[in-house]
């Protein structure tokens, strides 16, 4: 049974960061997201920093301050040179991980750089995981180094597969993933962001991953796809996948449980 919406964005204002690739037409209020969840018996969830706000996590933290920390958590976006004090502040506000949005040919982190290595050690010591949005062919270049450094990794949006045949994804079958499978999770969210039918890939991932290593997310308010998807349809599409429970994964990743 799915009890949590582990991938959604809320923002009350539209103040994009410099260079934002996309700015929505209107706000995505916290109250609207909570109302959607209530209609579908969602017990809690995870708010993810939206891309167009860049490193300004103030909207995220403001939303978290209004929520029950036992049932809700957050994922922030920070630069590699973020201070330890800021990481501690974010963690205290309910943030449980940091997101790397690397799609559309974005430069991958230089894992040999001192700044990156120091940042990852700061995350590891605090039990903060790394959430990755990246197309499937490039995922091994990021997943393996993170696992090798002792980080927990959450792969967004089914790993954004691009092939119709649900062959075992290379990022899931690296030596690093085989030896650190207990630290690798996948979000079943944003199926419409992949160019292929997602149901066969969902089944393949559930077959290949350890039990209780998948969470679901609505990806509300479906930025860049608002005209063809809504919350109700994201819930309905779950019927095409094998059933799974998100309770243990939500507890391990975010420290949240149903009331």
pLDDT tens, residue by residue, 3-30: 999 999 999 988 878 776 777 889 999 9
Amino acid 166: pLDDT = 80
Q: How many CB atoms lie within 10 A of CB 86?
A: 14
How much is the pLDDT for 14? 86
Residue 117 is predicted with a pLDDT of 98
- Give the C-alpha separation, 87 to 82, whole Å: 7
DSSP state string for 131-163: EEE--GGGTHHHHHHHHHTT--EEE-GGG----
Q: Which CATH number fits domain 52-215+240-254: 3.30.70.890, 1.10.260.40, 3.20.20.140, 3.40.50.300?
A: 3.20.20.140
Q: How much is the pTM?
A: 0.96
d(Cα 115, Cα 112) in Å, to the nearest integer?
A: 9
CB atoms within 10 A of CB 224: 11
Identify the pLDDT of residue 50: 95
Residues whose CB falls within 8 Å of the CB of residue 183, separated by 6 or more in sequence, listed in order: 147, 150, 151, 152, 153
Residues of the chain with pLDDT under 50: none
Domain ranges of the chain: 52-215+240-254
| CA 151, chain centre distance (Å) | 15
Tokens of 210: 């350890």
């Amino acid at each position: 049974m799915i009890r949590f919406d582990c991938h959604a964005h809320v923002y009350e204002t539209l103040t994009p960061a410099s260079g934002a690739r996309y700015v929505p037409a209107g706000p995505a209020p916290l109250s609207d997201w909570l109302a959607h969840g209530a209609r579908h018996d969602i017990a809690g969830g995870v708010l993810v920093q939206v891309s167009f706000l860049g490193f300004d996590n103030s909207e995220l933290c403001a939303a978290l301050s209004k929520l029950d920390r036992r049932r809700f958590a957050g994922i922030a976006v920070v630069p590699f040179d973020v201070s330890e004090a800021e990481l501690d502040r974010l963690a205290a506000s309910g943030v449980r991980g940091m997101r790397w949005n690397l799609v559309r040919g974005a430069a991958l982190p230089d894992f040999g750089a001192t700044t990156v290595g120091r940042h990852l050690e700061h995350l590891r010591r605090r039990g903060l995981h790394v959430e990755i949005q990246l197309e499937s062919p490039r995922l091994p270049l990021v997943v393996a180094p993170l696992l090798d450094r002792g980080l927990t990794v959450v792969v967004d949006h089914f790993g954004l597969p691009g092939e119709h045949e649900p062959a075992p994804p290379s990022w899931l079958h690296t030596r690093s993933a085989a030896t650190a499978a207990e630290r690798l999770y996948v979000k079943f969210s944003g199926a419409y962001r992949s160019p292929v039918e997602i149901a066969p890939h969902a089944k393949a991932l559930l077959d290949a991953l350890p039990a209780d290593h998948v969470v679901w997310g609505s990806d509300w308010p479906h930025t860049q796809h608002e005209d063809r998807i809504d919350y109700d349809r994201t819930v309905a599409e779950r019927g095409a996948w094998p059933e799974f429970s998100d309770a243990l994964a939500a507890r391990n990743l975010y420290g949240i449980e149903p009331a």
